[in-house]
Chain A
Amino acid sequence: MFRKPILVFATVLFSWGMQAQPSAVDSLSALLPSLPDGAQKIEVLNQLLKLYLNSDLEKSLQYAHQVAGLSKKTGNRLALATVYKDLGVIHLIGSAYDSSQYYSRLGLREYDVLLTKSSGEELEKVREGYAGTISNLGNWHYYQSALDSAVVYHRQAVELGRKWGADKPAANSLSTLAYIYLDQSQYEQAIEMHLEALRIFEKLDNQDGISRSWQGIGEINCEYLNKCKTALDYFRKALKIKQKTGSERGMGYVFRLIGGAYDKLEMIDSAYFYYQKTIATAEKLNDKRLLIDGYSAIVSIAEAVGMPEQEQLEINLKYIALAEEIGREDGLFVGYSNLGNMYRNKGAYDKAVEYYQKAALSAESQKNYGFLEKLYLKQYEIFKTKLRDESKALAALEAYLVNHDSVSNAAKFQAVEDISTRYETEKKEALIAEQQEAMHRDRIRFRVITGILVVAVLIGALLLGLTRQLRKRNREKEFLIKEIHHRVKNNLQVLSSLLHLQSRHIQDEAALDAVREGQNRVDAMSLIHQKLYMGDNLAAVDMRDYLHNLGDTLLDAFGLEDDRVRIVCHVEALRLDVDTAIPLGLIVNELVTNSLKYAFPGGRQGVVEISLWKNEADKLCLKVADDGVGQADAPALKNSTSFGTGLVEILSKKLKGKAQVLHENGYATLIEMEQFRLG
């Protein structure tokens, strides 16, 4: 975790690609007093700010505040937004995290306002500044080890960069994302980020960015994938660019990387050569961070390359002094330990132990148990075999064992942490995959629902059209049925009138009788049609009402409405289909006519009963009975034609019924019908 912030640090620094060159600083400083307050002065101050960034943060900060004041004074909001962004970076480098976030937020606020007001070239600058500030906030979160948030900010910066064509902040964020993935041991993704950043830097012809990307890819290859030979190719590419652009500082850092790669490849001489070049460059530029890296590297191989003792001593002392100066504890304990080794090798065991103990103090403060373990083991060996101090040897052994446990624990802890990180990463990846899957499913669901809705609408429209068509056809059919009914009824009416008119001109009694019977039959049918249209159902007739009316009509026809003969109906509440009702009506007409004509001769009083019901065997039963003289005493009946009887028989057959004559108190006919339809 220690190394990576340094790398990001470098990213931030190099992104500005400047260093404080005395000549440039002097000439710019000299120019300042002569400039009036305005854009030009702001520009010069900005340049100074950046030139001092790597060598003197305080000065850089002073210039930044001057830019802020001048921008406010002259109402230059873009310059103000930019310097707020820069102040965020300066404070971040200076580890003043609260101030860094504060200024970055101020910058964002200013850029937000400008986004709505600017146009043309200024808008482009505003967008780049906005995306850059988001990228800086991503770095801020990275420094706070808030990796999730850092990723969110950097991804946002990348997206904004792509959207607005603000390539530089996008590429910087991609570089940082690479280090974040590296932290999570996701090497392939880290390389992918570097490569993506590389493509943008190449597009921008940003040589510094290109070389940084090669460096990043090389570091992953050598340090994590054990491909140091491949890494050397990348480092050389980076070095070539640094040489071409004349960036000595950049070259210094690449020397250090090349040396490290040779070191890992156990090519000690080459490693020593590049470490020396690193130190020389750092000393020339007075870059203490690079210098301590150089010292750290060279002291680690000093003995192996056969460096003279005095030289080793000197370089270790320089190393320790610089580490104390810039607060690099790792430099301290490594340096003290190296000195301890040197004195041990010379046989100065007390001196060796003294430096080992100094190193142990520093290592303890850094909780570097692995280093402590080695230090105490060395002390134990010296106390036991050289100084022969039993108690100190045991104390050193005890300390060794404690730290050994701590190392194990730390290793276990690290392993757990690694597993936990991996688990968290996998969990997040799974969550992302799940969310993507859910989104995919939602998209499919949305498409399916939309499809269903479209189909439903189409079907609805089709059904509506069909319904309208059906309604139209139904209306047409209804109209036609009405028309047919109307004609049937008119024709029946005409038929009845014709028979009536004809009867007026017939003198022969038998003929008149026949015509009247015909007229009654027509009336029996007419009544059916009349009742049909009076009810709700055009195909069914209420038989109780119909038979009652038929009886009255027949009494009227025979002039028997004086109550001499009565017709009584016992009819169940039945509605019969018209195809059943018409033959049934005609049968009743014939049977009642028969009774009225023959049962009550000579002014005899009596009753004709019409009964209709459905029996238990589901047969329709019709009974017409009179209390008249009976068949035997009805002489007129013997002379009558058999037309009526034949009609009853044939109509009964149609209804699958058989007429049965009952000689009860008078004359009765019972018909049980199987084929009938209820309405």
Chain B
Amino acid sequence: MRTLAILLLESEPVVALDLKGELTRMGFAVHQAFRLSEAIEICQNLLPDIAFINFRQNQLTDGMSIARLLRVQYQMKVLLVTGARTRDLEAAGDFYAGQEVLNKPFTRRQFRQAMTTLLKK
């Protein structure tokens, strides 16, 4: 069985380090990016199967837009970590539709559950 590759776009280094270890233990090939440009480069060159995104640069390039880009452009399954309120996400309409979301701050159990759900999709 092929090892699934995951793009980990997490702008917070401590959290990224923690999650990288967790994901590795879960059996993923983790490709880590701190910046958007790095993430895109990884997507173009390595074609990961899954993406974990916890990224907030500004209003224009928020996590939701990046998640949609990866889903549509690279056919990836995306787990989006967000601090946004549920009603604000719902207001995003199409961008939010079908998006797997993990609310911050999440527990380890919630993280694992979200990954399991995503893989089943």
Please list the residues of chain A having a beta carbon within 8 angstroms of any beta carbon in chain B.
485-486, 489-490, 492-494, 496-498, 500-501, 504, 523, 526-527, 529-530, 533-536, 538, 552-553, 556-557
* Given A501-B17, A501-B21, A504-B21, also A496-B85 (CB < 8 A): no
Partner of B104, one of A493, A504, A538, A552: A493
Q: Give every chain A residue within 8 A of B56 (Cβ-Cβ).
A: 486
Q: Determine whether B19 belongs to the interface, using a CB cutoff of 8 Å to chain A.
A: yes
Mostly helix, strand, loop or mixed at chain A's interface? Answer: helix
Indicate if the CB atoms of B83 and A533 lie closer than 8 Å: yes
Indicate if the CB atoms of A493 and B12 lie closer than 8 Å: yes
Partner of A530, one of B12, B21, B104: B104
Indicate if the CB atoms of A494 and B85 lie closer than 8 Å: no
* Given A489-B104, A534-B85, also A497-B109 (CB < 8 A): no
Q: Give every chain A residue within 8 A of B108 (Cβ-Cβ).
A: 496, 500, 523, 556-557
Q: Give every chain B residue within 8 A of A493 (Cβ-Cβ).
A: 12, 15, 104-106
Q: Give every chain A residue within 8 A of B105 (Cβ-Cβ).
A: 489-490, 492-493, 496, 526, 529-530
Q: Determine whether B87 belongs to the interface, using a CB cutoff of 8 Å to chain A.
A: yes
Q: Determine whether B37 belongs to the interface, using a CB cutoff of 8 Å to chain A.
A: no
> 1/0 per residue B1-43: CB within 8 Å of A?
0000000000010110111011000000000000000000000
Q: Determine whether B107 belongs to the interface, using a CB cutoff of 8 Å to chain A.
A: yes
B85 to chain A, nearest CB (A): 5
Indicate if the CB atoms of B87 and A490 lie closer than 8 Å: no
* Given A501-B18, A526-B105, A534-B103, also A494-B83 (CB < 8 A): no
Q: Give every chain B residue within 8 A of A556 (Cβ-Cβ).
A: 107-109
> 1/0 per residue B94-121: CB within 8 Å of A?
0000000001111111100000000000
Please list the residues of chain B having a beta carbon within 8 angstroms of any beta carbon in chain A.
12, 14-15, 17-19, 21-22, 56, 83-87, 103-110
Chain A to chain B contacts (Cβ below 8 Å), 24 pairs:
A485-B83, A489-B105, A490-B12, A490-B104, A492-B105, A493-B15, A497-B14, A497-B15, A497-B17, A500-B18, A501-B14, A501-B17, A501-B21, A504-B21, A529-B105, A530-B103, A534-B85, A535-B86, A538-B85, A552-B109, A553-B107, A553-B110, A556-B107, A556-B109
Q: Give every chain B residue within 8 A of A526 (Cβ-Cβ).
A: 105-107
Once bound together, how far apart are the Cα atoms of A494 and B14, in whole Å? 6
Q: Give every chain A residue within 8 A of B15 (Cβ-Cβ).
A: 493-494, 497
Q: List the 10 shortest-distance A-B pairs measured between CB atoms, nearest first.
A: A497-B18, A526-B105, A556-B109, A492-B105, A493-B105, A489-B104, A497-B15, A523-B107, A486-B83, A489-B105
Most chain B beta-carbon neighbours within 10 Å: one of A523, A536, A538: A523
Once bound together, how far apart are the Cα atoms of A535 and B12, in whole Å? 26
A563 to chain B, nearest CB (A): 15
B10 to chain A, nearest CB (A): 10
Once bound together, how far apart are the Cα atoms of A526 and B110, in whole Å? 12
Q: Give every chain A residue within 8 A of B18 (Cβ-Cβ).
A: 496-498, 500-501
Q: Give every chain A residue within 8 A of B84 (Cβ-Cβ).
A: 533
B25 to chain A, nearest CB (A): 10
A585 to chain B, nearest CB (A): 13
A528 to chain B, nearest CB (A): 10
Partner of B107, one of A496, A504, A535: A496
Q: Give every chain B residue within 8 A of A504 (Cβ-Cβ).
A: 21
Given contacts A501-B17, A526-B105, A538-B85, 11 further A-B contacts (CB under 8 A): A492-B105, A493-B12, A493-B15, A493-B105, A493-B106, A500-B18, A523-B108, A527-B107, A533-B103, A534-B103, A535-B86
